[in-house]
Structure 1
């Protein structure tokens, strides 16, 4: 059968699983396109024995229960894995801290305020910046400490995006990112 959602030449086999995270629906014909997709738009987080999705924060210690968590957002099913066509760019990212704040600076000139999104929770930051009309910077960070979301802010400046995170406790962070990722993406202060 051919899909109307993924282009005229896309062949979808009966039984194909939806590619959206945590959606358990399988393709059973064109009627499957009419059903609602429940999925997680965030990323899985494994922190101090807890397992949860960055988008909804329903925490569990059991991996099977984590896998069974129903999605927190609704949308359309995605039967075919789509290759990313947008080129991601690397911008210089730096960070520094004071007794009460951690400031992350992403050096992306002329960030578009209508398309730039920074999502935070107490232990992570998800950064998506569109700058210089068509360039994209995307980064997810699991933080080395806990932040106060209500007292944190984002500033879009001419030459950079500043993400100012209020520390929940006035302690020094040895690294920006939690140890499990620090080897891959850490920046020095």
Structure 2
């Protein structure tokens, strides 16, 4: 088999099917980063900027935080004070992250866009809600988790549908759910990234 799973492949910006080769390459890299096999022994002395979501169903957030913590504490680095984490989740899940990391958890109010989403996925993080393709009113609707099911067409055509991360709980409560393709905290993230880059350039 060439593909782990196949999709409709109607998104012009990226593939929807999941090829085995892509998974194999990522697996090889993860084994090195995680310390299995040939571990990466040299950690570059550059500041780290990480954005992670507690409920992401594709990225192993616990491992992401573990790697951040490990690299942050590396005694070969001098830029630890600039390491930054933006986290979409609860503080209690960050018990194992060093408190010397600059941690930002944006707040959400009842009238804000973030209050209308059911968790954030990694593929939504880099996109603005104003993005013409992936944004709130964009022309692309992520429904691949419904592909091959009768709910797929409903997901694609419903004028308004719940949006969020495709957790089991969310899918149980919402038979038709669009996966979030934008970041409701995008402006906050962009501001923090701008501050991070400025600080890195000054040092």
TM range (shorter): under 0.3
Larger relative contact order (CA 8 Å, sep ≥ 6): 2
More strand by share: 1
Q: TM-score, normalised by structure 1?
A: 0.22
Q: TM-score, normalised by structure 2?
A: 0.21
- Larger Cα-atom Rg: 1
More helix by share: 2
